[in-house]
């Protein structure tokens, strides 16, 4: 249990750090984007919204930073991220709430598929080191060097423009209203396929490479040799002895690289104009909607923390050493 407890404390600290960072970034940076923004939106923003912005970005010289910090926390606990400019006067929290299911499903499903496929491929390639499968490695490194968004551009130009089998953008057919209607769900799945395939193709090689290297390293351990010597079946040795040990670093790697992956997939959403959180972030960036950007950053960070915690639970389940006391 100490392992899980330690990890839990770590996540609490990280969440605190992220939230505090989010508070200080607009205050520490030079220049005053918010002031110019308020001037630009003069007349369109209500007094309340202007006041909220002042408080949020520390332009309110009357109150001390400490008091601002406390207010900021108070607002957060009420789920109040301020008002969005782009979708004025919708609160940021509502905008995020609408977009988050799309991202969770798209990014969640495609990342899991890519992790499982990549890990299996890595075990196989690592086990049969020195065969033709090794020549897949340079191809794999080429694919993992491609930015997600560029692969998305290519996918659109091939499968949506030149050979229109998939829709080029959006998360569902504009004729539908989001609901649990089967037609709508089918439309959403159909729109999600191309972005999902893009994410899987560009990330699978990374998992495969990591797993391959771990399998190669583990396969010369003594316990693998002993398992061979006992005359166990190749499959048993491969999965029960080598892969089982090789996967541990890959799982902690999974947790640690989630941040990178999420970053990449957000940009994929932008390319496909997919109605997820990445696209919302993009709209926030292009219209200088600071409350929206900050809210999105917080939500992304907190979701990555939760995903990390789940990966830790999986790690604890797989590695008995973490369950030992002391």
Partner 1 sequence: MAAAPTTVDLPVETGEHGITPKKGRGGRGAWTIFRNRKAIVGLSILGFFALIAAVGEFIAPYDPNKVSSTLMSGPSGAHWLGTTNTGQDIMSQLIVGTRGVLVVGLLAGAIATAISVLIGVTAGFVGGVGDEFLSLLANVFLVIPALPLIIIIASQLPEAGGTTVALVIAFTGWAWGSRILRAQTLSLRRRDFVEAARANGESLWRIVCFEILPNLTAIIASGFIGTVIFAVLSQITLAFIGVTSVSTWNWGTILFWAQSNQALAQGAWWWFVPAGLCIAALGTALTLINFGIDEFVNPRLRTTGGSAKALRAKRIRARVGFTPVYRAPAEKRGED
Are residues 205 and 138 in contact, defined by beta-carbon separation less than 8 angstroms?
no
CA angle 265-269-271, nearest 5°? 115
Size of residue set near partner 1 by CB under 8 A: 74
Q: Is 242 in the site for partner 1 (CB under 8 A)?
A: yes
Alpha helices by DSSP H, 78-135: 92-127
Query: CA 104, CA 226: separation in Å to the nearest integer?
Result: 44
Contact between residue 205 and residue 141 where contact means Cβ atoms under 8 Å apart: yes
Among residues 95, 194, 204, 271, which is the contact residue for partner 1, using CB under 8 A?
271
Output the smallest distance, CB 46 to partner 1, in A. Answer: 23
Burial of 172 (0-12, 13-18, 19+ CB in 10 A): buried
Using CB under 8 A as the binding rule, whether residue 264 contacts partner 1 is answered as yes
The window from 29-37, 65-73, 110-118, 182-190 that contacts partner 1 (CB under 8 A) reads 29-37
Tell me the per-residue interface mask from 48 to 87 with partner 1, x by CB under 8 A, - otherwise. ----------------------------------------
Which segment (39-47, 79-87, 140-148, 191-199) binds partner 1 by CB under 8 A?
140-148
By CB under 8 A, residue 108 contacts partner 1: no
The one among 51, 64, 135, 236 contacting partner 1 by CB under 8 A? 135
By CB atoms closer than 10 A (0-12, 13-18, 19+), residue 42 is exposed
Instruction: Say if residues 288 and 33 touch (Cβ distance below 8 Å).
Output: yes
| By the rule CB under 8 A, 142 interacts with partner 1 | yes
Nearer to partner 1, 182 or 231 (CB): 231
The window from 59-67, 72-80, 81-89, 280-288 that contacts partner 1 (CB under 8 A) reads 280-288
Tell me: does residue 5 bind partner 1 (CB under 8 A). no
Positions 111 through 130 that interact with partner 1 (CB under 8 A): 127, 129-130
Counting Cα atoms < 13 Å in the Cβ hemisphere of 107 gives 29
72-86 per-residue burial string, b: 16 or more CB within 10 A, e: under 16: beeeeeeebbbbbbb
Using the rule CB under 8 A, is 6 a contact of partner 1? no
Q: In the range 181-240, which residues lie near partner 1 by CB under 8 A?
A: 213, 216-217, 219-221, 224-225, 228
List, in order, residues 6 or more apart from 324 with CB less than 8 Å away.
none
Shortest distance, position 188 Cβ to partner 1, whole Å: 22
Provide the 3-class DSSP secondary structure of residue 256.
helix
Residue 300 makes contact with partner 1 by CB under 8 A:
yes
């Amino acid at each position: 249990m100490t392992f899980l407890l330690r990890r839990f404390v770590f996540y609490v600290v990280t969440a605190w750090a992220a939230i505090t960072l989010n508070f200080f970034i607009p205050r520490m940076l030079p220049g005053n984007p918010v002031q110019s923004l308020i001037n630009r939106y003069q007349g369109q923003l209500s007094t309340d919204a202007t006041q909220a912005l002042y408080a949020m970005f520390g332009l309110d010289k009357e109150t001390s930073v400490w008091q601002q910090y406390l207010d900021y926390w108070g607002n957060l606990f009420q789920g109040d991220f301020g008002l969005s400019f782009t979708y004025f006067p919708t609160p940021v929290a509502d905008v995020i709430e609408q977009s988050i299911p799309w991202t969770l499903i798209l990014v969640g499903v495609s990342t899991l598929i890519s992790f499982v496929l990549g890990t299996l491929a890595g075990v196989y390639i690592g086990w049969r080191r020195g065969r033709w499968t090794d020549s897949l490695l340079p191809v794999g490194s080429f694919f993992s060097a491609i930015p997600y968004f560029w692969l998305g551009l290519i996918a659109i130009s091939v499968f949506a423009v030149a050979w229109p089998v998939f829709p080029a953008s959006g998360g569902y057919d504009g004729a539908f209203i989001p609901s649990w209607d089967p037609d709508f769900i089918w439309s959403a799945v159909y729109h999600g396929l191309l972005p999902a395939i893009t994410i899987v193709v560009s990330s699978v090689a990374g998992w495969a490479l990591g797993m391959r290297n771990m399998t190669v390293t583990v396969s010369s351990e003594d316990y693998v040799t002993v398992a061979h010597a006992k005359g166990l079946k190749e499959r048993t040795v491969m999965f029960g002895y080598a892969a089982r040990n090789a996967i541990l670093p890959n799982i902690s790697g999974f947790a640690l690289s989630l941040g990178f992956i999420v970053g990449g997939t957000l940009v994929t959403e932008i390319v496909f104009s997919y109605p997820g959180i990445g696209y919302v972030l993009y709209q926030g960036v292009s219209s200088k909607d600071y409350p929206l950007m900050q809210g999105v950053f917080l939500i992304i960070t907190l979701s990555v923390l939760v995903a990390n915690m789940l990966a830790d639970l999986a790690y604890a389940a797989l590695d008995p050493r973490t369950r030992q006391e002391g």
